[in-house]
């Protein structure tokens, strides 16, 4: 039977770990966004070896389970002198895993920018860096914002995996409460509700971001490729 | 105005390559006060030498020699696929020549001198020389994520290092010149093709290039919008400050605006000369043949 008393007793404990889930998600997504961009550039490099190694890395990370990668970072790396806190290890592990997905998203976005945009930027004598920053990336990212937002939400829902490397986040806390009190109904239900609220807010945020970008840009891209 | 232009070109052509001076035989050099041109000005601003370009097996340009003089307006005509666009793209550094050299204002474009030898240019060198060239594209290529003012002011800020105020001031002057100063806040997608192309012209002009390339600036436009863009180009041409290379299929426009017409076919310059000579007394069969097509459908009006 559902106990409101019990619910209110455990609520503060769960709210404490809610922050861990949120910050781990945001930090890991930041790693994924930056890492993904770096991978996308390395993949495009005219230096063949770099491009090939990047491709192999992306494929390897994508085709192995993130849990295995987390274990490697948290349990194996300390043997080689690199000890990370559960939070840092988790953020890096999830971040790198998702950076491989995001690199593909960036690539699609970059490929969607018509060649004429590059040529116009060259004709105005933009430096390569300015071209990327001012002309190409803003146009490349705009159409892929929804896909990136989707990955953010998927990643949020993957954070319980971090309890495997001893990071006590929402679900981890609920489990601890459960095993201490033999009551799982309330903690697990609350965790479900928290994730529902988080996912929903994240998706609203993405939609708003998308809308704001579209106000400045009436859908149509440059006519010719 | 026309006279002044002619006069200058007569003067220029006589100093040009042999090929050009051939064309001067039936010139009527108008008498008007010649614009003061010092010695440097009569050197070509652009000099193609034995420029070839191949795409795979397809040789698109065949050892082309071509000079463009400061302030000169050259219209490039010729059948589809003859290599006109490629000529312009090589100068804009959008395409790399297979062989030959291009000089801009006395400097090699695609090469740089290292210990007296010409070696392929790097991006830094291209960046230095490219600043003299501007280009207007057939499909405008405005930046869709920026409003009109930003489209025109972004390069002066980022590339020329002007302050935002200064750049916007310059941009507004240019937009005024092309009749687009009432649309500063609009986005490209909300403009007609003709309006977009006028903005694109302002965007190129604001960089104050010494040479402007127009690659069929009206070919992508609805017929009723062609006039407004041609009028803007005519106005700029009349100022006579920049050298202009106008690739066009609008023969009457070429005749009105250009000091010299260059006829391309199969990757070579077949014939060139003054508009009245080219249009009334073409020498080569191929040019006669080419011009006939335009008379037939009456588009030389
Ligand atoms: N990037 C490219 N790759 C392969 N072939 C190309 C490329 N660009 C141009 N060509 C070929 O080069 C030839 C000349 O093209 P170019 O665009 O210079 O002709 P053009 O005189 O401008 O023709 P149009 O009047 O149709 O614009 C054509 O046969 C074209 O197919
Ligand atoms: Mg062309």
* B80 CB within 6 A, ligand 1: yes
Do the domain assignments include residue B255? Answer: yes
Do the domain assignments include residue B233? Answer: no
Structurally, how many domains does chain B consist of?
A: 1
Per-residue pLDDT at B87 exceeds 80: yes
Q: Tell me the two tokens of residue B111.
A: 């090469």
Bridge partners (DSSP) of residue B136 are B214
Do the domain assignments include residue B240? Answer: no
Asked if residue B22 lies in contact with residue B30, where contact means CB atoms within 8 angstroms, the answer is no
The CATH code of the domain that includes A133 is 1.10.3720.10
Q: Tell me the two tokens of residue A141.
A: 């990212």
Do the domain assignments include residue B17? Answer: yes
Spell out which residues of chain A touch residue B110, defining contact as CB-CB under 8 Å. none
Per-residue pLDDT at A87 exceeds 70: yes
Pocket residue to mutate for ligand 1, from B59, B83, B90, most atoms within 8 A of Cβ? B83
Q: How far apart are CA A177 and CA B45, in angstroms?
A: 81
Minimum mean pLDDT range among A207-221, B95-109, B189-203, B235-249: A207-221
Rounded distance from Cα B244 to ligand 1 centre (Å): 21
Pairing of strands B58-68, B243-247: unpaired
Closest CA to B149 of B164, B163, B160: B164
* B83 CB within 6 A, ligand 1: yes
Q: How many residues comprise chain A?
A: 225
Q: What is the phi/psi pair of residue A47, to 5°?
A: -80, 100
Rounded distance from Cα A172 to ligand 2 centre (Å): 65
* B84 CB within 6 A, ligand 1: yes
In angstroms, what CA-CA distances link A31 with A28, A95, A157, B67, B93? Answer: 5, 5, 17, 54, 37
Collapsing DSSP to helix, strand or coil, B52 comes out as strand
Q: How far apart are CA A128 and CA A130, in angstroms?
A: 6
Do the domain assignments include residue B283? Answer: yes
Instruction: Give the residue numbers spanning the domain of A70.
Output: 4-224
Please report the pLDDT score of residue A216 as a whole number: 57
- Write out residues 75-104 of B within 8 Å (CB-CB) of A: 92-94
Please report the pLDDT score of residue A215 as a whole number: 61
Pairing of strands B268-273, B260-265: antiparallel
Closest CA to A161 of A170, A153, A152: A170
Instruction: Give the residue numbers spanning the domain of B88.
Output: 2-119+249-297
Q: Residue B20 — pLDDT band, cuts 50, 70, 90? A: very low
| Nearest ligand to the CA atom of B137 | 2
Which residue pairs from A155-160 have beta carbons closer than 8 angstroms and sit at least 24 positions apart in sequence? A155/A25, A155/A28, A155/A29, A155/A32, A155/A94, A155/A98, A156/A21, A156/A25, A156/A195, A156/A198, A156/A199, A156/A202, A157/A195, A157/A199, A158/A66, A158/A94, A159/A21, A159/A24, A159/A25, A159/A28, A159/A90, A159/A94
The CATH code of the domain that includes B277 is 3.40.50.300
Spell out which residues of chain B touch residue A117, defining contact as CB-CB under 8 Å. 141, 143
Give per-residue pLDDT as tens, B172-222: 999 999 999 999 999 999 999 999 999 999 999 999 999 999 999 999 999
Average pLDDT, chain B: 86
Per-residue pLDDT at B26 exceeds 70: no
Per-residue pLDDT at B29 exceeds 60: no
Q: Residue B16 — pLDDT band, cuts 50, 70, 90? A: very low
Distance from CA of A124 to the nearest CA of B (A): 6
Closest CA to B58 of B291, B224, B267: B267
Please report the pLDDT score of residue B293 as a whole number: 86
Residues at Cβ < 5 Å from ligand 2 ion: B 85
Please report the pLDDT score of residue B32 as a whole number: 36
Q: Tell me the two tokens of residue B246.
A: 């106008």
| Nearest ligand to the CA atom of B264 | 1
Per-residue pLDDT at B21 exceeds 70: no
ipTM of the complex: 0.84
Do the domain assignments include residue B229? Answer: no
Do the domain assignments include residue B26? Answer: yes
Pocket residue to mutate for ligand 1, from B48, B55, B88, most atoms within 8 A of Cβ? B55
Give the residue from chain A lying closest to B204, CA to CA. A124
Give the residue from chain A lying closest to B138, CA to CA. A224
Segment A192-209 shows an average pLDDT of 93
* B60 CB within 6 A, ligand 1: yes
* Nearest beta carbon to residue A123 from set B92, B123, B139: B92
Q: Is A201 exposed, middle or buried (0-12, 13-18, 19+ CB in 10 A)?
A: exposed
* B141 CB within 6 A, ligand 1: no
Give per-residue pLDDT as tens, B262-295: 999 999 999 999 999 999 999 999 999 999 888 7
Structurally, how many domains does chain A consist of?
A: 1
CA–chain centroid gap for B266, Å, is: 20
Please report the pLDDT score of residue B5 as a whole number: 43
In angstroms, what CA-CA distances link A183 with A7, A174, B47? Answer: 10, 10, 86
Closest CA to A13 of A177, A161, A156: A177
């Amino acid at each position: 039977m559902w106990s409101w008393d019990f619910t209110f007793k455990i609520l503060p404990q769960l709210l404490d770990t809610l922050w861990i889930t949120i910050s781990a998600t945001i930090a890991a997504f930041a790693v994924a966004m930056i890492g993904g961009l770096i991978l996308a550039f390395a993949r495009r490099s005219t230096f063949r070896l770099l491009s090939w190694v990047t491709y192999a890395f992306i494929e390897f990370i994508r085709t192995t389970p993130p849990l295995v990668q987390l274990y490697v970072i948290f349990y194996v790396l300390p043997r080689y002198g690199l000890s990370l806190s559960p939070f840092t290890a988790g953020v890096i592990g999830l971040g790198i895993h998702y950076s491989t997905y995001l690199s593909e998203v960036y690539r699609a976005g970059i490929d969607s920018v018509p060649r004429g945009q590059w040529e116009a930027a060259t004709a105005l004598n933009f430096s390569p860096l300015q071209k990327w920053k001012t002309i190409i990336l803003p146009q490349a990212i705009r159409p892929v914002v929804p896909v990136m937002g989707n990955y953010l939400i998927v990643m949020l829902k993957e954070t319980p995996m971090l309890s495997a490397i001893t990071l006590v986040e929402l679900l981890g806390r609920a489990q601890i409460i459960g095993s201490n009190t033999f009551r799982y109904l309330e903690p697990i239900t609350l965790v479900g509700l928290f994730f529902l609220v988080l996912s929903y807010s994240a998706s609203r945020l993405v939609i708003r971001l998308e809308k704001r970008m579209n106000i400045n840009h009436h859908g149509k891209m440059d006519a010719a490729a | 105005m026309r006279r002044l232009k002619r006069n200058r070109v007569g003067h220029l052509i006589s100093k040009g390559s042999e090929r050009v001076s051939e064309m001067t035989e039936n010139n009527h050099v108008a008498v008007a006060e010649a614009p003061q041109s010092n010695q440097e000005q009569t050197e070509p601003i652009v000099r193609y030498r034995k420029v070839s370009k191949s795409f795979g097996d397809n040789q698109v340009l065949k050892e082309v020699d071509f000079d463009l003089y400061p302030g000169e307006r050259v219209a490039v005509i010729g059948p589809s696929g003859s290599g006109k666009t490629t000529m312009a793209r090589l100068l804009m550094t959008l395409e790399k020549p297979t062989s030959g050299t291009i000089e801009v204002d006395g400097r090699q474009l695609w090469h740089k001198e290292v210990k007296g030898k010409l070696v392929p240019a790097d991006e830094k060198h291209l960046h230095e020389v490219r600043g003299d060239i501007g280009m207007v594209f057939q499909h405008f290529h405005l930046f869709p994520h920026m409003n009109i003012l930003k489209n025109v002011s972004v390069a002066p800020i980022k590339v020329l290092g002007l302050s935002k105020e200064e750049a916007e001031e310059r941009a507004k002057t240019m937009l005024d010149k092309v009749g687009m100063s009432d649309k500063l806040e609009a986005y490209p997608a909300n403009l007609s093709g003709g309006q977009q192309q006028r903005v694109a012209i302002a965007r190129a002009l604001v960089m104050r290039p010494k040479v402007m390339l127009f690659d069929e600036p009206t070919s992508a436009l609805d017929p009723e919008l062609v006039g407004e863009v041609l009028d803007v180009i005519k106005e700029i041409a009349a100022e006579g400050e920049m050298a202009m290379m106008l690739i066009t299929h609008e023969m009457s426009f070429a005749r009105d605006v250009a000091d010299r017409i260059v006829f391309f076919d199969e990757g070579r310059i077949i014939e060139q000369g003054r508009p009245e000579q080219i249009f009334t007394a073409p020498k080569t069969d191929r040019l006669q043949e080419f011009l006939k097509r335009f008379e037939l459908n009456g588009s030389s009006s």
